[in-house]
Amino acid sequence: MNTFDIQEIIARALAEDIGGGDVTTEATVDPDKDGEAVVVAKEDFILAGYEVFLNVFMSLEPGIEFNVEYLDGDNVEKGATMFTLKGPMRTLLTGERVALNLLQRMSGIATLTARYVDAIEGTKAAILDTRKTTPGLRTLEKYAVTVGGGRNHRFGLYDGILIKDNHIAAAGGITKAVEAARATAPHMLKIEVECESIKDVKEALKAGVDVIMLDNMDEKTMAEAVKVIGGKALTEASGNMTLERVRKVAETGVDFISVGALTHSAPAVDISMRVKG
């Protein structure tokens, strides 16, 4: 993870929430009063984002003390006490919502990812994320995917060449598009082509691509494609990857399965923070 990014995300989130001040806490809590908070799981999940969580409070008050019982990647069971925090009561109350918003979202992503990873256990496939992330939070969300056992597809439009149908049409066919990419795009990036049929797969293979995306194919066609490719390129299955379906897809022999839902539709997990004076 890029630390600069994270500090900026936290600062922005705190500014958004606190604005001109936490008027309630300032009016009701003495600035010298200390407090203690326990952070408790209200359901089972995979933890992701504990450093981000703690950093929210440290951004407000460097001297906060933490006791950390679980780390990223750990299975947390409902009822477990994950962290305890000690410090000024005002800081604990003011930082609570932002810290939880980030932790619940990140853990939600890690948890959903882990379910997909578990579903394909024993196959050779890996679960990939996509660029369907929350604008501004991609760094955190892609990290949460790795915590859940998934792997990261490209971070943006700049670190991977993914030739889709429109690029193919604009360039005049798969072969021409691949040649154009090889001639001018950065040579350290692999070239992937979105294929919708066995015919596409064959043309892509002939053009010497590094990765072939099997886009919106049924499992049977995928299996055939994997066979045709025969290890000469990596394969990525994409499109409509539900938890129900994903194992069947993995069993076709693909290398990667990309799942947009990991980041665009993972529900937040339920975590509470109980503060006492």
Residue of 57, 64, 138, 259 that binds a copy of itself (CB under 8 A): 138
Q: Is 123 in the site for a copy of itself (CB under 8 A)?
A: no
Q: Which is nearer to a copy of itself, 74 or 165 (CB)?
A: 165
15/22 Cα distance (integer angstroms): 11
- In angstroms and rounded to an integer, the radius of gyration of the C-alpha atoms of the chain is 23
Indicate which residue of 72, 96, 129, 194 is catalytic: 194
Q: Is 159 in the site for a copy of itself (CB under 8 A)?
A: yes
Among the listed ranges 113-121, 156-164, 199-207, 218-226, the one in contact with a copy of itself (CB under 8 A) is 156-164
95/30 Cα distance (integer angstroms): 16
Q: Which is nearer to a copy of itself, 47 or 192 (CB)?
A: 192
3-state secondary structure 59-114: HHCCCCEEEECCCCCCEECCCCEEEEEEEEHHHHHHHHHHHHHHHHHHHHHHHHHH
Q: What's the full length of the chain, in residues? A: 277
Residue of 69, 84, 115, 155 that binds a copy of itself (CB under 8 A): 155
Tokens of 88: 């000024």
Within residues 23-52, the interface with a copy of itself by CB under 8 A covers: 23-30, 33, 35
Q: How far is the CB of 241 from a copy of itself (least distance, A)?
A: 13
Residue of 38, 68, 189, 198 that binds a copy of itself (CB under 8 A): 189
Q: How far is the CB of 239 from a copy of itself (least distance, A)?
A: 11
Q: Is 105 in the site for a copy of itself (CB under 8 A)?
A: yes
- DSSP annotation of 91 reads H
Distances (CA, A) of 162 to 84, 146, 165, 209: 45, 21, 10, 10
Q: Is 17 in the site for a copy of itself (CB under 8 A)?
A: yes
How far is residue 187 CA from its own chain's centroid? 27
Q: Is 196 in the site for a copy of itself (CB under 8 A)?
A: no
Distances (CA, A) of 153 to 88, 115, 126: 41, 18, 11
Q: Among all chains, which residue has been given the structure tokens 């503060």? A: 275
161/159 Cα distance (integer angstroms): 7
Residue of 55, 114, 153, 241 that binds a copy of itself (CB under 8 A): 153
Within residues 53-82, the interface with a copy of itself by CB under 8 A covers: 60
Indicate if 164 belongs to the active site. yes
Among the listed ranges 64-72, 77-85, 170-178, 200-208, the one in contact with a copy of itself (CB under 8 A) is 170-178
Q: Which residues are catalytic?
A: 97, 132, 164, 194, 215
